[in-house]
A and B are shown apart, each in its own frame.
Chain A
Amino acid sequence: MGDSQYSFSLTTFSPSGKLVQIEHALMAVGSGQTSLGIKATNGVVVATEKKLPSILVDETSVQKIQLVTPNIGVVYSGMGPDSRVLVRKSRKQAQQYFRLYKETIPVTQLVRETAAVMQEFTQSGGVRPFGVSLLIAGYDDNGPQLYQVDPSGSYFSWKASAMGKNVSNAKTFLEKRYTEDMELEDAIHTAILTLKEGFEGQISGKNIEIGIIGTDRQFRVLSSSEIDDYLAEVE
Chain B
Amino acid sequence: MSRGTGAGYDRHITIFSPEGRLYQVEYAFKAVKAAGVTSIGVRGKDSVCVVTQKKVPDKLLDQTSVTHLFPITKYLGLLATGMTADARSLVSQARNEAAEFRFKWGYEMPVDVLSKWIADKAQVYTQHAYMRPLGVASMVLGIDEEKGPQLFKCDPAGHFFGHKATSAGLKEQEAINFLEKKMKNDPAFSYDETVQTAISALQSVLQEDFKATEIENIIPLHLTHCYIPVSPQFIAWFLLVAWQLA
A residues sitting closer than 8 Å to B (CB atoms) are: 1-3, 5-6, 8-10, 12-14, 20-21, 24-31, 52-58, 60-62, 79-82, 84-85, 88, 121, 126-131
User: Which residues of B lie under 8 Å from residue A8 when comparing CB positions?
Assistant: 3
Minimum Cβ distance to chain B for residue A13 (Å)? 8
Task: List chain B positions with a Cβ less than 8 A from chain A.
Answer: 3-6, 10, 13-22, 43, 112, 116, 119-120, 122-124, 126-130, 152, 157-159, 161-166, 176, 179-180, 183-184
Which among A1, A3, A61 is the interface contact of B161 at CB below 8 angstroms?
A61
The CB with the most chain B CB atoms within 10 A, among A21, A79, A126, A131, is that of: A79
* Contact status of A10 and B129, CB under 8 A, knowing A20-B5, A81-B119, A85-B123: yes
CB <8 Å contact, A28 and B16: yes
A82→B184 contact, CB < 8 A: no
- Tell me how far the C-beta of B180 lies from the nearest C-beta in chain A, rounded to whole angstroms: 6
Q: In the complex the two chains form, what is the Cα distance from A129 to B184 in whole Å?
A: 39
A-B contact pairs, 7 of them (CB 8 A): A2-B129, A56-B176, A57-B164, A58-B163, A81-B126, A84-B120, A85-B120
Residues of A within 8 A of B112 (CB): 61
Complex Cα spacing A12 to B183, Å: 49
A150 to B50, CA, bound (A): 40
CB distance from B177 to the nearest CB of A (A): 9
What is the minimal beta-carbon distance from B226 to any residue of chain A, in angstroms? 23
Could you say which residues of chain B place their CB within 8 Å of the CB of A3? 130
One of B20, B120, B128, B163 near A28 (C-beta < 8 A): B20
Return the contact of A24 from the options B16, B164, B180, B183 (Cβ within 8 A): B16
Given A6-B130, A27-B18, A56-B180: A81 touches B159 (CB 8 Å cut-off): yes
Q: Which single member of A5, A21, A57 contacts B16 (CB below 8 Å)?
A: A21
**B20 and A24: CB pair below 8 A?**
yes
Q: Check B4–A14 contact: CB distance below 8 A.
A: yes
CB pair B6–A56 under 8 Å, yes or no, is: no
Residues on A with C-beta less than 8 A from B43 are 58
| B166-A56 in contact (CB<8A) | yes
B111 to chain A: closest residue by CB? A61
Complex Cα gap A2–B5 (Å): 20
Closest to B43 in A: A58
CA distance A233 to B180 in the complex (A): 32
User: A62 vs B162: C-alpha distance in the bound complex, in angstroms?
Assistant: 7
Q: Does the CB pair B158–A80 fall under 8 Å?
A: yes
- The answer to whether B16 and A27 have CB atoms under 8 Å apart is yes
A21-B16, A61-B152, A82-B127 known; A52+B161 contact, CB < 8 A: yes
Contact status A20-B180, CB under 8 Å: no
Contact yes or no, B20 A25, CB < 8 A:
yes
Q: Give the chain B neighbours of A85 by CB distance below 8 A.
A: 120, 123-124, 127
Q: A20-B6, A54-B176, A84-B120 are in contact. Are A31 and B20 (CB under 8 A)?
A: yes
Tell me which residues across on chain A come within 8 A of B130, comparing CB atoms. 2-3, 5-6, 126
| A131 proximity list for chain B (CB < 8 A) | 16, 20, 22
A31 to chain B: which residues have CB within 8 Å?
19-20
How many Å lie between the Cα of A30 and that of B18 in the bound state? 12
For B21, the closest partner residue in chain A by CB is A28
- Beta-carbon contact of B127 and A128 below 8 Å: yes
Residue pair A57, B129 in contact (C-beta under 8 Å): no
Chain A residues lying within 8 Å of B21, measured Cβ to Cβ, are 28
Residues of A within 8 A of B179 (CB): 56
Indicate if the CB atoms of B162 and A30 lie closer than 8 Å. Answer: no
Residues in B with CB closer than 8 Å to A55 are 180, 183-184
B129–A6 contact, CB under 8 A? yes
Query: Do the beta carbons of A127 and B20 come within 8 Å of each other?
Result: no
A121 to chain B: closest residue by CB:
B127
Shortest Cβ distance from A4 into B: residue: B130
Nearest opposing residue in chain B for A55, CB measure = B180
Identify 18 new A-B residue pairs, CB closer than 8 A, beyond the known A121-B127, A130-B127: A2-B130, A10-B6, A10-B129, A13-B4, A21-B15, A24-B6, A24-B10, A24-B15, A25-B20, A31-B20, A52-B161, A54-B180, A55-B183, A57-B163, A85-B123, A127-B127, A128-B22, A128-B129
Q: Which of B5, B14, B180 has the most CB of A within 10 A?
A: B5
* Top-5 shortest CB links A-B: A61-B162, A81-B158, A27-B20, A24-B16, A28-B20
